[in-house]
């Protein structure tokens, strides 16, 4: 997946105003002490320092990067769709920081919006519906259950929940967000974007080295689970970039090629093919 770039602090300030306007139009307030409020305020603070040609502290740069990511998701949502508006409400009202608790409704909502944008970017029709996202592939409905890893030991429960959702709402995949393993508030330094993307891929490789057999077993035993999409994003400082910080993201598709369920293999192949198209 290409790195997510921001091009100027002025552009980010304009986006922050647009986000506030959307919530105002929806009739929702953004509390200045909420995570979303703090992120938006961090953009204004960074712009003020930039205008005075003063140095922007790294902690503020990290918050600006978080603001950029969440603002893009908010601006990509449809404020006329009630299901997406509910996610926008959760993003505004709930925690968006990792590690505060074993679960976060705000971060879960952000991951659903992230996956929604991810599939729509590839020209795939998608909507928020049970299990989390429904997409259309070659005229057939396909399900995505979105799961975000909150603790290193929480994977099994996430997959069980995802399998139960797919059992009730139709065949599909489980999309797992691994941002917690990337330490979202830690800035990693690389010479070029390729190095940042390769590092993100390495995080997925490390995760799969201990979990691949278990994930294959779940696909083998659950006839409605076709496979997984695994994603992780890293806050990076790239020497060749004109931005202070950039977001490098990697994704991996995983199924069980030895499965005896040929329908499952065909469905996953169709999903993978649709997602690889640009």
Query: Quick one: pLDDT at residue 1?
Result: 53
Indicate the average pLDDT of the chain: 92
The Cα-based distances of 71 to 88, 124, 153, 172, 258 in angstroms read 11, 22, 30, 28, 41
- Contacting residues for 176 by C-beta, under 8 A, at least 6 apart: 147, 148, 149, 155, 158, 228, 229, 230, 231
Give 150's pLDDT tier (boundaries 50, 70, 90): confident
pLDDT at 278: 54
0.75 exceeded by the pTM? yes
Q: Which residue has the higher pLDDT, 246 or 183?
A: 246
Rounded Cα–Cα distance for residues 87 and 192 (Å): 34
* Site of tokens 């925690």: 95
* Percent of the chain at pLDDT exceeding 90: 81
**Looking at 2-6, 130-134, 239-243, which range is the least confident one?**
2-6
Average pLDDT of the residues in 64-82: 95
- Report pLDDT for 20: 97
Per-residue pLDDT, 7: 54
Count of CA atoms in the C-beta half-sphere (13 A) of 226: 21
Report the pLDDT value the prediction gives residue 48, as an integer from 0 to 100.
94
What pLDDT, on a 0 to 100 scale, did the predictor assign at position 9? 81
Q: Tokens representing 253?
A: 């598709």
23-37, 89-103, 157-171, 249-263: segment of lowest average pLDDT: 89-103
> What is the pLDDT averaged over residues 39-57?
94
Segment 174-188 shows an average pLDDT of 88
Of residues 187 and 142, more confidence is placed in: 142
Q: How confident is the model at residue 242 (pLDDT cuts 50, 70, 90)?
A: confident
- Select, from the ranges 6-20, 145-159, 220-234, the one with the highest average predicted confidence (pLDDT): 220-234
Residues 240/234, Cβ–Cβ less than 8 Å: no
Res 6: pLDDT? 54
Evaluate if residue 116 carries a pLDDT over 80: yes
């Amino acid at each position: 997946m290409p790195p997510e770039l921001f091009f100027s602090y002025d552009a980010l300030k304009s986006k922050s105003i647009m986000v506030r306007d959307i919530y105002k139009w929806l009739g929702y307030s953004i509390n200045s002490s909420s995570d979303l409020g703090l992120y938006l305020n961090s953009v204004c603070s960074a712009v003020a320092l930039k205008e005075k040609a003063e140095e922007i502290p790294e902690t503020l740069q990290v918050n600006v990067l978080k603001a950029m990511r969440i603002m893009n998701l908010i601006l990509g949502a449809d404020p006329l769709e009630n299901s997406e508006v509910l996610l926008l409400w959760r993003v505004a009202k709930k925690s968006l920081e990792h590690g505060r608790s074993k679960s976060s409704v705000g971060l879960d909502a952000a991951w659903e919006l992230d996956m929604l944008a991810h599939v729509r970017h590839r020209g795939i029709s998608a909507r928020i519906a049970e299990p989390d996202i429904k997409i259309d592939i070659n005229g057939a409905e396909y399900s995505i259950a979105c799961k975000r890893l909150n603790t290193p030991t929480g994977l099994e429960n996430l997959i069980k929940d995802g399998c139960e959702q797919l059992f009730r709402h139709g065949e599909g995949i489980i999309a797992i967000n691994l941002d917690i393993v990337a330490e979202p508030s830690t800035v990693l330094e690389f010479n070029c974007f390729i190095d940042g993307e390769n590092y993100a891929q390495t995080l997925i490789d490390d995760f799969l080295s201990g979990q691949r057999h278990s994930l294959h077993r779940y696909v083998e035993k659950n006839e409605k689970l076709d496979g997984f999409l695994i994603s992780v994003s890293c806050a990076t400082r790239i020497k060749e970039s004109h931005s202070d910080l950039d977001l490098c993201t990697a994704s991996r598709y995983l199924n069980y090629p030895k499965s005896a369920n040929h329908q499952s293999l065909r469905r996953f192949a169709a999903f993978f093919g649709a997602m690889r198209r640009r």
